[in-house]
Amino acid sequence: MPDGADNFVDPTTKLYNTNDGFDFATSVLLVDGYNVCGFWPKLKKHFARGQLETARDKLIHELITFTHVKGLKVVCVFDAAMSGLPTHKECLNSVDIVYVANTDADSWIEREVTLLRADGCPKVWVATSDTFHQHAAHGAGAYVWSCKNLISEINDAKKELQELLHDETMYSTKGKLLEHNLDPEVRDALHALKQQLKTQ
C-alpha cells in the first residue's frame, strides 16, 4: 500500500451503527473509479494514455474535497487487474479506495449496495455511466448518478467550499477563525483547497 494510506475499514461492518437508528447512520457514495476516469475530460486524457495512476490520484483528490463538504462516506472502486495492482483496500483522507481482482468493480459495487442496504444504510448512491450497471445498482436499492451528475456535484461542492473560505462568517467577533473548532481532517481539507484555489 502507498505510504500514508490508513487501514481500510469495511463500510458494511464499521461505518454504521444502525442499532442506534437512522439518525446516526451514514449515507454512502460508491464510485466506479475507471468509469469516471474514462468520462471526465481532465482525467480521460491521462486514462487514454495509460497513465492510470495519475488519473486515479486526480479523481481521489476530487473525492476527498467532496466527502468533506457533503458529509457522505465515499468508496472509490477500481479493477485491480487493470491497475496492475493486487487486491487491497486503502483509506486516504476519509475516502476508502478498493482494488478488486477476484471480481470486477461493477460486481463488487452491486454486492456492496445489497450489503449496505441490508445493514440499514439509509441511502446508497452509485456513480457510473455504465447503463447495465446503473440498472443493476438501482435494482439493488441504490440511487444512481451518471458520471456527469457526479462531476456536477463535485464542482458544486468546490464552489460551496470556495464561498465558505471567503465568507466573513469564518471569523468570530474576536477575529479568531472559526475553523479552529472544526474537525482536524476537515480543517486540513479546507487549507488544501484554499491553496489550490490560489493557484487557479
Question: Would you say residue 172 has pLDDT above 50?
Answer: no
For the stretch 128-166, pLDDT in tens is: 999 999 999 999 999 999 999 999 999 999 888 888 776
pLDDT of residue 28: 95
Question: Would you say residue 17 has pLDDT above 70?
Answer: no
Q: Evaluate whether 25 touches 122 at the Cβ level (below 8 Å).
A: yes
Mean pLDDT value across residues 106-122: 92
Cα–Cα distance measured from residue 176 to residue 45, given in angstroms and rounded to the nearest whole number = 43
185 pLDDT band (50/70/90 cuts)?
low
Higher pLDDT, 33 or 88: 33
For residue 95, the cross-strand partners are 74, 92
Tell me the pTM. Answer: 0.75
pLDDT of residue 183: 56
pLDDT of residue 153: 95
**Cβ neighbour number for residue 58 with a 10 Å cutoff:** 17
